[in-house]
Chain A
Amino acid sequence: MRVARIWAWITFGIGAAYFFIPLIATLEFSMRMRRGEYSFDAYRIVLGDERFQATFGYSVVVAIFTILLGVLVVVPTAYWIRLRMPQLRPIVEFITLLPLIIPAIVIVFGYIRMYGSNSPLPFLGSARGTDVLLIIGYATLALPYMYRAVDTGLRTIDVRTLTEAAQILGAGWATIIARIILPNVLIAVLSGAFLTFAIVIGEFTMASLLNRPAFGPYLQNIGANRAYEPAALAVIAFAITWGCMSVIQILSRFAPRSASAPAN
């Protein structure tokens, strides 16, 4: 057993080295901008860059709309599947897994060919339409994660009883979903939302091919033209991802474990 423990420490140590060295190297590199001393110049330049603020702001707005769209598509469906149409579950689960099978670049390629300005649905005819298409594309990318998060959340509440109770009190479907189901799976939805945010904020392929001024293409552009700023941006991006994952972990502590322990 002692030998096993030594091996376990060695494995863990090598793994930790592989994962921490790039982080340390990036941090160190990002502070090398001023000759001969460490400074936060690269960060100051990046954060003060107008294009950084504009593209980051754009991506945050797109991420928020993506989350809203994702919730709007996923929550009623997952709820309805659980309540009324469990026979559809395998089909819906398969569809939500499709974005893992079809690469993002292929999906967006399809959009470009199908929704061009001459098509019946000319999303790409205007900048606003292209924004909408980008949000839709991101919602499909996030679909596997959002659906799983919401479905796990629904598993912990007694959907049927809550629905019946609400119906007896005269609630309609919209009221039930918005005021009964959604609050009860809010923690699961928020987990899915933060994961969506982490995926969407720096996404490159779709934004670049749809020519939208998002954070991902900006990152790529800086990477091709600057020396120290990319490292600073990588540190910022890692911090954002870390922040999203931490929020998800904190949220999971508040999540109800089973239907017998209702979430109130």
Chain B
Amino acid sequence: MTDISVSGSIRQSTPRAGQRVRLPTQWLGVAPFFIFALMFLILPTTYLILGAFQNDAGEFTLENIAALSRPSIVNAYWISIRISFTSAILGALVGLAIAIAIVRGGLPPWVRSATMTFSGVASNFAGVPLAFAFLATLGRLGLVTVLLNTLAGFNIYSTGFNILSFWGLTLTYLYFQIPLMVVIITPAIDGLKREWGEAAATLGATQFQYWRMVAIPVLWPSFLGTVVLLFANAFGAIATAYALTGSSLNIVPILLYAQIRGDVLHNPHLGYALAFGMIFITGLANVLYLWFRTRSERWLK
């Protein structure tokens, strides 16, 4: 096949000159992409990362990183990590349960296709409108709040619940986290071969033992991998939180947003350090994700 291709014919006719000319033209084909990525993805990020390690005079320093240990900043990171982690774990568990139910629960086929379609929509329904939807549901005048109050005489706000709080935001994030889990994990559950279940049953395993000793160990890496992806997904999100809580909830993206708008930390380089911290955490999460994925793909081929 390569013999008829253009690259092959050039090589045959003028071996040396052809190779010298061919190399740069070959790179020309991917040059726009690399220039684009370099200018608008890699360089801007590098600029911030370098800025995080510089002072106003442009000298190397670790002061900005050290300044991240201010209580208000540590607090912001901590809340962000907790919300992202909680919504990732809960989203993954619930998403897994739903995925198992629709793949293995013996439900009619329309349930599965409807769930998958809806998950595709809901996993992309984030940002400002999602915040509106939850305010209309669980805000002080929301349908669920009002119904519980008038029908059951139960005021959820009297229990200390607030849609503008940690649990309120986590509950809201679950609206896109769960569907994302369903979308990602369903193929993995499809990958559990029926023969494994039959083999386990032949050897006398109960349903419980099959899940504990076969299915869960096989699903484990892709489960953990998706948890990490969901974590990064929630960690970088700002629009929902901002529309829901304004700037009352102190999470890192909102702090960074305020810093970009008005230098609230009174130190531009601290802003860079804040951004660097975000990349560091999501980057770490994604390195773990890639590692888990290479491990899980061994089984699901």
Contact = CB atoms under 8 A, between A and B. Distances in A.
Interface of A: 1, 4-5, 7-9, 11-12, 15, 18-19, 21-26, 28-30, 72-74, 76-77, 80-81, 84-85, 88, 92, 95, 97-114, 136-137, 139-140, 143, 160, 164, 167, 173, 195, 198-199, 202-205, 209, 216, 219-220, 223-224, 230-231, 233-234, 237-238, 241-242, 244-246, 248-249
User: Which 9 A-B pairs rank lowest in CB-CB distance, beginning with the nearest?
Assistant: A8-B105, A110-B44, A103-B236, A25-B143, A237-B129, A80-B29, A29-B136, A204-B239, A234-B132
Interface of B: 1, 4-7, 26, 29-30, 32-33, 36-37, 40-45, 47-48, 51, 94, 97-98, 100-102, 104-107, 111, 115, 117-118, 120-122, 124-125, 127-137, 141-144, 174-175, 178-179, 207, 229, 232-233, 235-239, 242-243, 246, 253, 256-257, 260-261, 271, 275, 278-279, 282-283, 286
Contacts of A137: 40
A100 B129 contact: no
Contact of A22 (B134, B229, B279): B134
A105 B137 contact: no
A48 to B, nearest CB: 19
Nearest to B287: A101
Contacts of A107: 40-41, 44-45
A68 B296 CA distance: 36
28 contacts: A12-B98, A15-B97, A18-B175, A19-B178, A19-B179, A22-B137, A22-B175, A25-B142, A26-B136, A30-B136, A73-B32, A76-B32, A84-B26, A84-B29, A92-B33, A100-B232, A100-B233, A102-B236, A105-B236, A140-B40, A205-B238, A209-B257, A219-B129, A220-B242, A223-B132, A244-B124, A245-B117, A245-B124
Contacts of A110: 43-45, 47-48, 275
A201 to B, nearest CB: 10
A106 B127 CA distance: 17
B45 A23 contact: no
Contacts of A103: 235-238, 253, 278-279, 282
Contact of A111 (B44, B127, B134, B179): B44
Given A4-B106, A105-B253, A230-B132, A113 B175 contact: no
Contact of A19 (B136, B175, B235, B278): B175
Given A4-B105, A139-B36, 8 more contacts: A25-B142, A26-B137, A84-B29, A204-B127, A204-B243, A223-B135, A231-B135, A242-B121
A173 B282 CA distance: 39
A219 to B, nearest CB: 4
A106 B144 contact: no
A160 B1 contact: yes
A220 B128 contact: yes
Contacts of B144: 21, 25
Nearest to B139: A29
A38 B1 CA distance: 68
A84 B132 contact: no
Contacts of A244: 124
Given A102-B45, A204-B127, A22 B133 contact: yes
Nearest to A9: B107
Contacts of B26: 84-85
Contacts of B128: 202, 204, 216, 219-220, 223, 237
Contacts of B143: 21, 24-25, 28-29
Given A80-B30, A107-B44, A12 B115 contact: yes
A84 B144 CA distance: 58
B101 A109 contact: no
B239 A84 contact: no
A237 B134 CA distance: 14
Contact of A114 (B43, B94, B278): B43
Contacts of A28: 136, 143
A147 to B, nearest CB: 9
Contacts of B37: 95, 98
Contact of A106 (B6, B32, B141, B279): B279
Contacts of B41: 95, 98-99, 102, 107, 140, 143
A99 B32 CA distance: 18
Contacts of A219: 127-129, 132, 243
Contacts of A102: 41, 45, 236, 279, 282-283
A94 to B, nearest CB: 9
Contacts of A108: 260
Contact of B105 (A9, A24, A106, A238): A9
Question: Which among B107, B135, B141, B175 has the highest number of chain A CB atoms within 10 Å?
Answer: B135
Contact of A105 (B135, B174, B257): B257
Contacts of A223: 128, 131-132, 135, 243
A199 B101 CA distance: 29
Question: Which among A85, A98, A100, A101 has the highest number of chain B CB atoms within 10 Å?
Answer: A101
